[in-house]
């Protein structure tokens, strides 16, 4: 999936080029304008709302073989 946001200078498509995770619920994304005559680069902030920390993953349980009485 590709993130795109309109360029604030020329309104052309801006494509996400880099993403940096700042915390469990916050990222900074660097965009670059797709119009070569503009070429503007800009940074955006993506934040989950409400800012709750996701539920941590549980460790995988070991599987046990089924026992059948034949």
Task: Say if 60 falls within a structural domain.
Answer: no
CATH code, domain carrying 41: 2.20.25
The pLDDT tens digits along the chain (70 residues) read 688 999 999 999 999 999 999 988 899 999 999 999 998 999 999 998 876 766 777 777 777 666 666 6
Task: Say if 68 falls within a structural domain.
Answer: no
Total count of domains within the chain: 1
Domain hosting residue 40, numbered range: 4-47
Q: Positive or negative CA dihedral for 26, 30, 34, 40?
A: positive
Task: Say if 61 falls within a structural domain.
Answer: no
Report d(CA 17, CA 29) in Å as an integer.
7
Task: Say if 34 falls within a structural domain.
Answer: yes
Would the pTM of this model clear 0.85, i.e. be above it? no
């Amino acid at each position: 999936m590709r993130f795109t946001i309109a360029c604030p200078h020329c309104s052309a498509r801006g494509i996400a080029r880099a993403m940096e995770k700042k915390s469990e619920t916050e990222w900074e994304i660097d965009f670059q304008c797709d119009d070569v005559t503009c070429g503007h680069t800009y940074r955006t902030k993506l934040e989950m709302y409400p800012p709750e920390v996701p539920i941590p993953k549980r460790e995988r349980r070991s599987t046990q073989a089924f026992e059948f009485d034949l």
